[in-house]
Amino acid sequence: MTPELYYLAATALLTAVIWVPYALNYIIAGGLMNAVGPHADVDGMAGWAIRMKKAHANAIENLVVFAALVLVVQVAGANNDTTALAAMVFFWARVAHLLTQTFGIPWVRTLAFATGFGCQVVLALQVIM
């Protein structure tokens, strides 16, 4: 498995499990019956859980672009040390974004997001150049 595919799988796995902590908080705040029914905003949901839910939505949006770029890199045979590094940095930037968004740390969150975007640009440039 190439490093790009490894970090794509790791990013997908991370994105797949982000919902668990905030869903548990949703159950605690609104009760199990509310959690299994149509989701309305729950009063009493912790601030960290609300921020984590937003980070999850952002992770899903970025996973789509990252996955497409990694797959194009693979199919085009454009993978190299630069694309491997970009994929690794993207994954860790997403981890940093999740943590800084969840714990409400400004500036670092934005830097983590921008770093991930930069990695996507690097992957795209490796394909088109």
pLDDT by residue (tens digit) across 46-67? 999 999 999 999 999 999 999 9
Q: Which fold has domain 3-128?
A: Four Helix Bundle (Hemerythrin (Met), subunit A) (1.20.120)
Distance between CA 40 and CA 83 in Å, rounded?
A: 41
Rounded to an integer, the average pLDDT of 109-129 is 97
pTM: 0.93
Residue with tokens 């548990």: 24
Is pLDDT of 37 > 80? no
